[in-house]
Amino acid sequence: MENFTFTFPATNKIDRFAHVGVVGSGDLEVLMEPSSDLQTEVTIRTGITGFETTWEPLIQRFFTQHDIAAKVKINDFGATPGVVKLRLEQALEVAANE
Amino acid sequence: MSRTLLKTSFVESSGRERAHSILDDQSYKELLGPQDNIESPHLEPQGIVPQSDDGVVVAKGTINEHPAIVISIEGNFQGGGIGEVSGAKIAGVLELALKECESGMRIIPVLVFDTGGVRLQEANYGVLSIAEIGAAIVALRRYVPVIAVIPGKIGAFGGMSITAGLCSKIIMTRGARLGLNGPEVIEQEAGIREFDSKDKQLIWGTIGGEQRTAAGFADVLIEDDADAIKEKISSFILEDTVYSPRTLQGDRYETLLSLVEPEQRLSANEVRLLWKLSENEEIKEKLPSLESDKSTGRGQTWFDLLRADFLEIGDIPSVRVADGMIGEKKVRFIAVVPDNQNRFPRARKGEVGLLEAWSIAKHVRNAIKADQNSEKRTIVAIVDVPSQAYGYHEELLGIHQACAAAVDAYASARLEGHPVISFIPGNAISGAFLSHGMQANRLIALHDEGVNVHVMSKQSAARITQRTLEELEIATKKVPAMAYDIKSFEKLGALFSLVDGVEASSPEKKDRDIIYKEIDRAIEDVRTDNSRDLSGRLSSSYAQSGGRAASILVREKLREQWK
């Protein structure tokens, strides 16, 4: 198992807590919590080791495109980058809409 | 969009979606959801990524305006395995519902199973939790029906199949499976000729939803439609009838077993026919074979020593029963022992099999009935059980249901006020221990190398968790709940006492007197404590000082959010 954290400056607060996905084969769980700090903090735990360099650009691109101030937790069980992006988008949708 | 034309698949839904679809839209209130983030503390140290809800959704609400709780297991997280947190969520919310029912409310518990049973990475925590879940269900059933839904894809296995067997009604889809031992485990333990885990047809014909419904182990075979499932649950709530759960239908299941010739491999269809037949047939008396060699195992040795000169009243050679005395107290001793002539070959080494579990249930029930208006005798389970029986016939004929009957009987005795004491001079393993011993008010074990408590043989556990034996040994050192020795089990706080200085294998009179004293002390403790549930396991000093930290925390948080 590996752990890493990325932080990015941010300005827009999200409306509410969001939770999507499951820590199951090829999938992941995303938790998004509003943060009063002007930044996004993304904490990733993954069972698949050795892919930090794949995560970094993926996460960076997503949070460059979406300026949100939030605490984001990712619990990963071997999701592909496409699935990661999809789950993050879903979480964002839940966090913005009722 | 017309909802009437488009069915929502219940099977394809997540655990949380399933809970939503059962409860009325506006009523849904989840307890200890993802935002509370109570994860299992035992997974990360083993290099496994935890989940924010530990794979169990518990929600309060209404079903067609009737107050209910829904417990829905997420099968995609760790195979729906029950660990300390997920187990405490299930047990904790059932205990809260029970409290309300005791004070006159009518809250219907619905359990949606999608689980392989105990989460092997948390082993004995899972077993303890499943015992507590079972205890709560038996207590709840005195007030309300408890409904089980087994939708698939995983089904209900291991200790959780026993849990399903305790429920008032079981609803299954065609894609659901219900069985004590999974196909891989049977193959590992009994060989590929006993059960080929790659043979899909064999699996569905043994434990699939259609077979289970046709052979007397489930009530309803339902299509995979969320609305239909909700309506079916609702119909069970509204019907103002008292259900007789399968666990109380021992005569019928005993008749079924008496019709079977285990030498020949039964087919799925034959079981369906025999089940129909068993409704009207009388039990064929099978005389216990007298030439069985008497076991020299610890179970038999201690049984003979403790019962002293009192007569045996058991009806099969593998379940020893006698009414004895400890001082002035009436005590019924029950032990499961090897019988090398057992009709079911997979249960000849002292395993808890079909006949054994139903027989235990019968003898505990008899005592409850006999003592209805008199002193409630103590029931002592003498525990030296290597495992439940692993076999094709065992699954086909519903060993999970037999085990549930034994669990139910012990739990009912406890609830009726009988002191139920487990004395563990040998092995206490998985489904066998759940059925014979785990429902006791108090557990007494010998401090001896030959006393082991665990969930599954190391070989099987390694196979199921896809680890090598070496990796498993390393993990065992980090998590006491995974260890097999009694000293590690003690740290979890469930033992009333761990007795030193007793000769475990060839005990003498002085050893017996020590154990008599311990049992007597346990009986007195039960009488002064007055509680008839298993809460003592969480208030013990080991449990309080960290042994059950997560179990206690989860219950506290649930209580806060329940209101």
Q: CA of B78: which chain A residue's CA is closest?
A: A24
**Token pair 């269900």 is at which residue?**
B137
- Position B287 scores a pLDDT of 55
Buried b (16+ CB within 10 A) or exposed e, B439-469: bbbbbbbbbbeebbbbbbbeebbbbbbebee
Give B76 to chain A, closest Cα distance, Å: 5
Q: CA of B44: which chain A residue's CA is closest?
A: A1
Give B55 to chain A, closest Cα distance, Å: 8
Instruction: State both tokens at B157.
Output: 């296995």
Give A91 to chain B, closest Cα distance, Å: 13
Name the DSSP letter for residue B55. T
- Contact across the interface for A27 and B76, Cβ inside 8 Å: yes
CB-nearest to B77 from A1, A23, A45 is A23
- Contact across the interface for A33 and B35, Cβ inside 8 Å: yes
Of B285, B283, B282, B266, the closest CA to residue B215 belongs to B266
Buried b (16+ CB within 10 A) or exposed e, B1-31: eeeeeeeeebbebbbbbbbbbbbeeeebebb
- Over range B389-403, report the average pLDDT: 97
Reported as a pLDDT band with limits 50, 70 and 90, residue B470 is: confident
- Position B2 scores a pLDDT of 46
- Position A24 scores a pLDDT of 96
Whether B488 shows a pLDDT value over 80: the answer reads yes
Cβ-Cβ contacts under 8 Å between A and B: the total is 48
Whether B354 shows a pLDDT value over 70: the answer reads yes
- Contact across the interface for A1 and B49, Cβ inside 8 Å: yes
- Over range B354-366, report the average pLDDT: 98
Give A47 to chain B, closest Cα distance, Å: 6
Percent residues over pLDDT 70 in chain A: 99
Helices and strands, number each (H, E), in chain A: 2, 5
- Contact across the interface for B35 and A31, Cβ inside 8 Å: yes
Q: CA of B74: which chain A residue's CA is closest?
A: A22
Whether B1 shows a pLDDT value over 70: the answer reads no
Kindly give the interhelix angle for B123-140 and B84-102, rounded to the nearest 10 degrees. Answer: 20
- Contact across the interface for A31 and B74, Cβ inside 8 Å: no
- Contact across the interface for B52 and A1, Cβ inside 8 Å: no
- Contact across the interface for B49 and A46, Cβ inside 8 Å: yes
CA-to-CA distance for B492 and B477, rounded, in angstroms? 15
- Contact across the interface for B76 and A33, Cβ inside 8 Å: no
CA-to-CA distance for B295 and B298, rounded, in angstroms? 9
CA-to-CA distance for B49 and B40, rounded, in angstroms? 10
- Contact across the interface for A24 and B76, Cβ inside 8 Å: yes
Q: What is the pTM of this model?
A: 0.96
- Contact across the interface for B74 and A22, Cβ inside 8 Å: yes
Q: Residues 6 or more apart from B278 whose CB is under 8 A from it?
A: B216, B252, B253, B255, B256, B259
Q: What is the pLDDT of residues B405-442, one digit of tens each?
A: 999 999 999 999 999 999 999 999 999 999 999 999 99
Which of B389-398, B463-472, B480-489 holds the top average pLDDT?
A: B389-398
Pairing state of beta strands B147-150 and B108-112? parallel
Could you report how far apart the first and last alpha carbons of chain B are, in Å? 36
- Position B291 scores a pLDDT of 53
- Over range B263-272, report the average pLDDT: 95
CA-to-CA distance for B379 and B384, rounded, in angstroms? 16
- Contact across the interface for A47 and B49, Cβ inside 8 Å: yes
Whether B527 shows a pLDDT value over 90: the answer reads yes
What is the average pLDDT value for chain B, to the nearest integer?
94
Q: Could you tell me which residues of chain B have a Cβ less than 8 Å from any Cβ in chain A?
A: 14-15, 33-35, 37, 44, 47-52, 74, 76-78
| H or E segment and range at residue A46 | strand A39-46
- Over range B54-68, report the average pLDDT: 97
Reported as a pLDDT band with limits 50, 70 and 90, residue B475 is: confident
Alpha helices in B427-485 (DSSP H): 430-435, 458-464, 469-478
- Position B24 scores a pLDDT of 97
Contacts of A77 in chain B (CB under 8 A): 49
Complex ipTM, two decimals? Answer: 0.95
Task: Among A23, A28, A45, A51, pick the best mutation site for testing chain B contact (most B Cβ within 10 A).
Answer: A23
Instruction: State both tokens at B37.
Output: 């983030």
- Position B307 scores a pLDDT of 95
- Position B290 scores a pLDDT of 47
Pairing state of beta strands B147-150 and B156-157? unpaired
Percent residues over pLDDT 90 in chain B: 86
Give B225 to chain A, closest Cα distance, Å: 22
Instruction: State both tokens at A27.
Output: 């999938």
Instruction: State both tokens at B146.
Output: 């408890």
- Over range B192-214, report the average pLDDT: 96
Reported as a pLDDT band with limits 50, 70 and 90, residue B240 is: low
CB-nearest to B34 from A19, A25, A47 is A19
Q: What is the pLDDT of residues A19-66, one digit of tens each?
A: 999 999 999 999 999 998 999 999 999 999 999 999 999 999 999 999
CB-nearest to A23 from B35, B37, B49 is B49
- Contact across the interface for B35 and A24, Cβ inside 8 Å: no
CB-nearest to B52 from A24, A27, A31 is A31
Q: What's the Cα-to-Cα distance from B209 to each of A25, B60, B61, B172, B219, rounded to whole Å?
A: 25, 28, 28, 5, 10
Q: What is the pLDDT of residues B290-316, one digit of tens each?
A: 456 777 899 999 999 999 989 999 999
Contacts of A29 in chain B (CB under 8 A): 34, 51-52
Coil vs helix vs strand at B416: helix
- Position B456 scores a pLDDT of 79
